[in-house]
Amino acid sequence: MPARRTRSSQICLAFALFFAFLFFQTNTSFCANWEFYTVGQNLLGGVPGSPAVGDDGTIYVGALNGNFYALNPNGTLKWSYPLYDPIGYSSAIGPNGAIYVGAGHTLWAFNPNGTVRYANTYDSGDCLFLGGPAIEDDGTVYIGSNTSKLYAFNSDLTPKWTYGVGFEAFVGEPVIGSDGTVYFKASTFQGNSSPQRRIFAIDKYGSWKWDWSLESWSEAPPAIGRDGTIYYTDSLKLHALDQGGHKKWEFTTEGHIQFTLHSSPAIGADGTIYVTGQDLPAGTSGTGYGVIYAINPDGSKKWVHIHSDSNEVGSHNAPAVGANGSIYFGSRDTNIYKVVDHGTYPTQSVLLGPTEGQVNSSPAIGHDGTLYIGCAYSVRAMDTGSYGPANSSWPLYRANLKRTAKVKPWAIVQGHIRYLRQLVHAYHLASGTENSLVSKLDSAFKSLDRLEVTASANMLKAFGNEVSALKNKKIPIRQADAWIVEARKIISSLESDDRKMISSK
């Protein structure tokens, strides 16, 4: 009898687990890979800044508790460092591998192992560094401040130059064009009797190129299109300027829809501009509905979608556009969403997952399809099925996974490499074969980050040679030929674009 009871218990347990599994599968709409909590007992320590992701997959975030964190791709803590000042913005990863972050009076640079490489403190002048840094390909670090100045530092954080805007102002987060021009917003302090709000264009030597008056204040940094168009928001409009500072067009929101202070645009592979905001019907006393706009490159409306009806005040940061065409964003209604652009309309927003508090961070999308986002109490990671960001000049907040806010001259070619990587990954080869092929594509991708075009082309040729050797052995002929053709297209594009760039210099 005891044996029978044991056997019966085992059978009952097995059925219970089986039905629990079915229930979980059918009632869970998202798969959270992991969640890393940054809060302590005082509940102060959320992550409003957007995660930066290194080449090795390490995720870097700062928290309001003053700690700067490096997380392994599986969500475990790699290291943390106390900066003692709340960190409300993104960090950025430079070409030298250093991770730069501003906190209070100090601009920090960390080694990937968590040791401090450089630090520069400006406490004597009550200077507070505002926003995430932007990093040029030569390592120059740009950052805004509360002292009416844009600061430029060498990669070792020695001062390079400063640019004063000419009036008492907060200088917002800078972004960098493909030609090295630095764009940023500046606005007088709140309560000033003669408010000034302008967007500036400064060359890489710190000299004025042009500036343009803003209709209303928005802290959101601009985004830059592949043709150099500068897109920026104020409370009711999305504006487009050419590289010379001339207006191309402006788009005005409808009804009670407003863009928020942090509504920075993101750009899809076809040039569509996506901006989140809020719908504030009359009499709502500051509450409203979450909204996302899709605007065509000519300034006409593609569609507008209300994604939340919880009477919370919308979304407060840039969306992220995935390589699969989906648009991902967090909301102050405590949820994380995605929508898919179908041209004239989007799909109904899909709830990826709830959080325990408001989401003011903008997502990152890793090349393995994992989405990372800062939340009120934690960093969340979840599967998306999108292998990296979209093939565009500005698919993410501050342009890319490293958050350098720099338009890369090879961004489009890198997008094709990401696509080929996705094809290889989706075919489910034996792990050793897949790792070998993917590593070559990753090397080709990273070589373009360093502007090493020949090295990238050579790695793509090595990829093609390996696929040829495996054809009809581990890879069917038709599949192998398709990958080889795709690799040759990328190599041809590299060589063609390289000639164009050389001839234009």
pLDDT of residue 257: 86
Note whether residue 20 is domain-resident. no
Checking if the pLDDT of 21 tops 60, the result is no
Note whether residue 16 is domain-resident. no
Say yes or no: 431 and 330 in one domain.
no
Checking if the pLDDT of 309 tops 60, the result is no
pLDDT of residue 191: 65
* Res. 296 pLDDT band, cuts 50 70 90: very high
Note whether residue 24 is domain-resident. no
Query: What are residue 346's DSSP bridge partners?
Result: 341
Checking if the pLDDT of 397 tops 90, the result is yes
CATH code of residue 460 = 1.10.132
CA 40 from centre of chain? 27
Is there a contact between 175 and 169 (Cβ–Cβ < 8 Å)?
Answer: no
Note whether residue 395 is domain-resident. no
C-alpha–C-alpha distance, residues 405 and 137, integer Å:
11
* Res. 193 pLDDT band, cuts 50 70 90: low
pLDDT of residue 20: 31
pLDDT for 462-494, tens place per residue?
A: 999 999 999 988 899 999 999 999 999 899 888
Q: Residue 439 belongs to what domain range?
A: 411-504
Q: Which domain-ending residue is among 383, 400, 425? A: 383
Checking if the pLDDT of 251 tops 70, the result is yes
Give me the count of residues in the chain.
505
Say yes or no: 300 and 250 in one domain.
yes
Checking if the pLDDT of 338 tops 70, the result is yes
pLDDT of residue 321: 95
Say yes or no: 315 and 438 in one domain.
no
Say yes or no: 336 and 460 in one domain.
no
Say yes or no: 354 and 417 in one domain.
no
Q: What is the mean pLDDT of residues 411-433?
A: 85
**Pair of tokens at residue 364:** 């990152």
- Count of CB atoms situated within 10 Å of the CB of 228: 16
Q: Which domain-ending residue is among 383, 398, 433? A: 383
Note whether residue 26 is domain-resident. no
C-alpha–C-alpha distance, residues 405 and 223, integer Å:
8
Say yes or no: 144 and 198 in one domain.
yes
Query: For 14, left (φ over 0), alpha (ψ -120 to 50), or beta?
Result: alpha
DSSP, collapsed to helix, strand or coil, labels residue 209 as: strand
**Pair of tokens at residue 30:** 């998202």
Residue 341 DSSP label: B
pLDDT of residue 7: 41
Q: What is the mean pLDDT of residues 102-108?
A: 92
Say yes or no: 242 and 196 in one domain.
yes
pTM: 0.82
Q: What is the mean pLDDT of residues 2-9?
A: 41
Between residues 92 and 217, the one the model is more confident about? 92
* Res. 70 pLDDT band, cuts 50 70 90: very high
Dihedral Cα 48, 393, 368, 113, nearest 10 deg: -60
Which position has the token pair 């002929």? 477
Checking if the pLDDT of 107 tops 60, the result is yes
pLDDT of residue 282: 58
Say yes or no: 297 and 415 in one domain.
no
Say yes or no: 239 and 276 in one domain.
yes
Say yes or no: 190 and 323 in one domain.
yes
CATH code of residue 284 = 2.130.10.10
Q: Which amino acid is at 52?
A: A
Say yes or no: 341 and 417 in one domain.
no
Between residues 98 and 305, the one the model is more confident about? 98
C-alpha–C-alpha distance, residues 133 and 155, integer Å:
12
pLDDT for 139-186, tens place per residue?
A: 999 999 998 999 999 999 999 999 999 998 999 999 999 999 999 999
* Res. 124 pLDDT band, cuts 50 70 90: low
pLDDT for 85-97, tens place per residue?
A: 999 899 999 999 9
* Res. 6 pLDDT band, cuts 50 70 90: very low
Say yes or no: 168 and 232 in one domain.
yes
Q: What is the mean pLDDT of the chain?
A: 84
**Pair of tokens at residue 137:** 């390909």
Is there a contact between 176 and 155 (Cβ–Cβ < 8 Å)?
Answer: no
Count: domains in the chain: 2
* Res. 41 pLDDT band, cuts 50 70 90: very low
Q: What is the mean pLDDT of residues 403-410?
A: 87
Between residues 451 and 183, the one the model is more confident about? 183
